[in-house]
């Protein structure tokens, strides 16, 4: 039988608890901001607030009954233009989205007034440059969802960044003394497993919309694992009575 070690969250000094708490608070706010960002991007893909399966399908597989530009005007970009301006752009798309009509029917003026302020080469954001007509024309075609290039870029960013976040959250949580070892191991490994499933489900949904449910399941499982480790860690640091290293009976087998 393994002997219990002396490290546990409740017995740490105030300075180390403050360090752990500061990190946990910052990543919790970051997680909340990520959820807000998801609601404001993917969550508006179908034109309505709240993340749904249709939002996931439209984001990765696309809404192939319309063009990407038209879907954006009905969805996340809807507040950026008036109803008349959106109608004019959609009519232009349905009429063939020609460069001549773009120049001569007022569509260019709408893009310059409402779109190019953000959609330009100097924005520093991963969005198309609408100062170039060919980029607009490309998005006036059938909406096939996220490109393989964008999926590859976002996938590697998420894999590296989120893995680091959960490494430190898991390290702090691993010092919890009041969680049975099997449950602790399960909680620590769960976000990594579902991170891989989450990324894989993006690519699978790009190929087949039926995998959209997997995106929601994987993302929700990661959030639950994060919340569990966060709450247990904060509880043991600041609410649980202080445990001294010599109090062997109070420590579980780690």
Which residues in the chain come in under a pLDDT of 50?
Answer: 1-5, 245-254
Q: How far apart, in whole angstroms, are the C-alpha atoms of residue 198 and residue 192?
A: 10
Q: What is the pLDDT of residue 244?
A: 55
Angle at the Cα of 147 (from 141 to 151), degrees rounded to 5? 160
Q: How far is the C-alpha of 134 from the C-alpha of 155, rounded, in Å?
A: 27
The helix (run of H) or strand (run of E) holding residue 124 is: none
Q: Is 245 left (phi over 0), alpha (psi -120 to 50) or beta?
A: alpha
Mean of per-residue pLDDT scores for the chain: 86
Q: Tens of pLDDT along 2-35?
A: 344 457 898 888 999 999 999 999 999 999 999 9
Residue 37: its pLDDT value, please? 87
The C-alpha atoms of residue 51 and residue 42 are separated, in whole angstroms, by 7
Return d(Cα 49, Cα 94) in angstroms, integer. 26
- The total of other beta-carbon atoms located within 10 Å of residue 39's CB is 14
Span 172-190, pLDDT tens digits:
999 999 899 999 999 999 9
| C-alpha to C-alpha distance for 184 and 182, rounded to whole angstroms | 5
Question: Three-state SS for 67?
Answer: strand
Check residue 250 and give its pLDDT: 44
């Amino acid at each position: 039988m393994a002997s219990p070690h002396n490290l546990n969250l409740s017995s740490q000094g105030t300075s180390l608890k403050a360090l752990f708490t500061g990190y946990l608070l910052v990543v919790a706010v970051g997680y909340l901001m990520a959820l807000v960002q998801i609601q404001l991007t993917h969550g508006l893909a179908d034109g309505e607030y709240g993340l749904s399966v249709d939002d996931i399908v439209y984001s990765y597989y696309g809404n192939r009954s319309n063009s990407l530009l038209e879907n954006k005007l009905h969805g996340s970009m809807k507040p950026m233009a008036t109803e008349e301006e959106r109608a004019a752009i959609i009519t232009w798309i349905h009429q063939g989205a020609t460069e001549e009509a773009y120049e001569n029917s007022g569509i260019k003026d709408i893009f310059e007034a409402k779109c190019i302020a953000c959609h330009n080469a100097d924005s520093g954001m991963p969005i198309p440059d609408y100062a170039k007509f060919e980029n607009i024309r490309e998005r006036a075609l059938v909406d096939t969802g996220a490109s393989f290039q964008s999926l590859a870029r976002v996938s590697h960013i998420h894999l590296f960044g989120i893995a680091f976040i959960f490494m430190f959250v898991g390290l702090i949580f691993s010092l919890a003394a009041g969680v049975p070892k099997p449950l602790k191991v399960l909680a620590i490994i769960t976000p990594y497993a579902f991170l891989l499933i989450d990324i894989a489900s993006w690519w699978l949904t790009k190929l087949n919309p039926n995998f959209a449910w997997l995106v929601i399941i994987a993302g929700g499982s990661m959030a639950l694992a994060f919340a569990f480790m966060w709450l247990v860690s904060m509880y043991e640091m600041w609410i649980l009575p202080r445990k001294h290293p010599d109090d062997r009976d109070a420590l579980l087998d780690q």
